[in-house]
Amino acid sequence: MTVETIIETRVRGLTFDSVTAGEGLKNALEMSRGAIIDLVRDSRLKGRGGAGFPTGMKWDFAAAEKREPKYLICNADEGEPGTYKDRVILTDYPELVIEGMTIGARAIGASLGLIYLRAEYAYLKHHLEEVVEARRKAGLLGKGIAGIDGFDFDIVVGLGAGAYVCGEETALIESLEGFRGEPRNRPPFPVVSGFLHRPSVVNNVETLAWVACIFAKGVDWFKSSGTATSTGRKLFSVSGDCARPGVYEFPFGITVAELLEEVGGEDAKAVQVGGASGRCVPRSAFSRRIAFEDVPTGGSIIVIGPGRDMLEVAHNLLEFFVDESCGQCTPCRLGNGKLLEGVDMLMEGTCTTDYLHDLRALCNTMQVASKCGLGQTSSVAFTSIIESFGDEIMGHAKRSR
């Protein structure tokens, strides 16, 4: 599918359209650094990159660090299969993202911001650099931002090299430093020791854009939608077997069924919520809510139509992880391959029920023993497919004696 085709499918009318660029930053710069962090904490904004870590808390940790310089990194790697909402934000609302970065920099005391752009988005680099340059000329980046003595912050745009694991924040930092993109051990977390081993905040593109909206429209406006634990609204990239794929904005707490109705996917057999590393939600659970406390997601929604073979779905997702595992740790490097081999055996009718049981135990091992989020989540889709489509899958498995 070409970029133009994807853009054509996009649904307009996002909240971002109603925000006047500059308003959020202006309001934030009238506040003290501590008050900025308090307001973000009060909004209960959770990171839109997938893990849902509270943004105010992350900024607070970084602000408390004494070592300098500090860095604010915008994670624009967007490598999760089925996700393309950050690309829309970077294309149409880059001002909001950069405003969010500037507010974050003010709050934590960062002097440099880095946008880590996935290799496939290289065509956006020039566009972003033009926006950055225009803001420098307007005195909104560089030395003494908005006339505030000592508030010096600039932004550079870096490019990834095409690895999904580089979306993981510590692999991203390694890659930004010019090394092979492999996750680091945590702790220490990036807020303590990140880019060049200095305190660094890594935030998703969408998180930063919402920060600008919160300061423009107010914290009560933000909290008036969503659920008590997952406040606000969320962008979703919808793809797969539905009539109207595209980028949508819904409040957190929307049920899977309601979302499917909006996108024309009512007859779905299942929905892969959260991309390849997310959960496969079967039809019987379509009343579940999309929110961090129920079914979490970084924004990828892949609709699986009634005619799909769930083993083929599992095969497709596991092939991705076999390709993308960085190979540093054994549970992930070998585990994904073993799961894929198991799906092949199921397809051929040579997998016994005992072996399937062993594979499920392997999933547990991968979830607890892998070094980073890739290996910790790569088996989630497999286990949820086995759990929810037991009848369909067991029809393929040989009974053990």
Footprint of ligand SF4 (CB under 6 A): 165, 183, 325-329, 332-333, 370-372, 374-375
Out of 200, 203, 231, 300, the only residue in the binding site for ligand FMN (CB under 6 A) is 203
> Stretches 22-30, 49-57, 142-150, 263-271: which one binds ligand FMN (CB under 6 A)?
49-57
Tell me the residue number closest to ligand SF4, measured at CB: 375
Smallest gap from residue 79 Cβ to ligand FMN (A): 5
- 199 to each of 62, 66, 73, 150, 284, how far by Cα in Å? 6, 9, 11, 19, 45
Out of 27, 102, 200, 207, the only residue in the binding site for ligand FMN (CB under 6 A) is 207
Out of 77, 95, 99, 241, the only residue in the binding site for ligand FMN (CB under 6 A) is 77
How many CB atoms within 10 Å of residue 318? 25
Is residue 191 a contact residue for ligand FMN (CB under 6 A)?
no
Residue 69 binding result from ligand FMN, ligand SF4, none, given CB thresholds of 5 to 8 Å by partner type: none
Residue 241 binding result from ligand SF4, ligand FMN, none, given CB thresholds of 5 to 8 Å by partner type: none
Whats the size of the chain, residue-wise?
401
Smallest gap from residue 59 Cβ to ligand SF4 (A): 26
Q: Is residue 264 within 8 Å of 301, Cβ to Cβ?
A: no
Is residue 297 a contact residue for ligand FMN (CB under 6 A)?
no
Smallest gap from residue 276 Cβ to ligand SF4 (A): 13
Smallest gap from residue 370 Cβ to ligand FMN (A): 10
Residue 375 binding result from ligand SF4, ligand FMN, none, given CB thresholds of 5 to 8 Å by partner type: ligand SF4
Query: What phi and psi, each to the nearest 5 degrees, are found at residue 227?
Result: -110, 175
Smallest gap from residue 118 Cβ to ligand SF4 (A): 16
Smallest gap from residue 41 Cβ to ligand FMN (A): 14
- CA–CA dist 245, 243 (Å, integer): 6
- CA–CA dist 279, 290 (Å, integer): 11
Out of 7, 11, 21, 51, the only residue in the binding site for ligand FMN (CB under 6 A) is 51
Nearer to ligand FMN, 74 or 216 (CB): 74
Residue 79 binding result from ligand SF4, ligand FMN, none, given CB thresholds of 5 to 8 Å by partner type: ligand FMN
Nearer to ligand SF4, 211 or 318 (CB): 318
Place of tokens 């870096």: 158
- 240 to each of 82, 151, 246, 268, 303, how far by Cα in Å? 8, 46, 10, 10, 5
Is residue 174 a contact residue for ligand FMN (CB under 6 A)?
no
Nearer to ligand SF4, 194 or 375 (CB): 375
- CA–CA dist 94, 317 (Å, integer): 31
Q: Is residue 191 within 8 Å of 71, Cβ to Cβ?
A: no
Q: For the chain, how big is the Rg over CA atoms in Å?
A: 22
264 CB-contact burial (10 Å; exposed 0-12 / middle 13-18 / buried 19+): middle
Please list the residues that pair with 295 across neighbouring strands: 290
Per-residue DSSP letters for 353-365?
HHHHHHHHHHHHH
Q: Is residue 121 within 8 Å of 78, Cβ to Cβ?
A: yes
Residue 272 binding result from ligand SF4, ligand FMN, none, given CB thresholds of 5 to 8 Å by partner type: none
In 91-185, at which residue ranges do the beta strands (DSSP E only) sit?
112-117, 154-159
**110 to 139, contacts with ligand FMN by CB under 6 A?**
none
Binding-site size, ligand FMN (CB under 6 A):
23
Out of 165, 176, 322, 363, the only residue in the binding site for ligand FMN (CB under 6 A) is 165
Binding mask 356-385 for ligand FMN (x = CB under 6 A): ----------------xxx-----------
Indicate the SS3 state at residue 117.
Answer: strand
Per-residue DSSP letters for 244-306?
S-EEEEEETT-BHHHHHHHHT-TT-SEEEETGGGSEEEEGGGTT-BBSTTSB--SSEEEEE-T
Smallest gap from residue 377 Cβ to ligand FMN (A): 7
Q: Is residue 56 within 8 Å of 40, Cβ to Cβ?
A: yes
Residue 49 binding result from ligand SF4, ligand FMN, none, given CB thresholds of 5 to 8 Å by partner type: ligand FMN
Nearer to ligand SF4, 3 or 119 (CB): 119
6: its two tokens: 């994807």
- Residues engaged in binding ligand FMN (CB under 6 A): 47-51, 53, 75, 77-80, 164-165, 167-169, 202-204, 207, 372-374
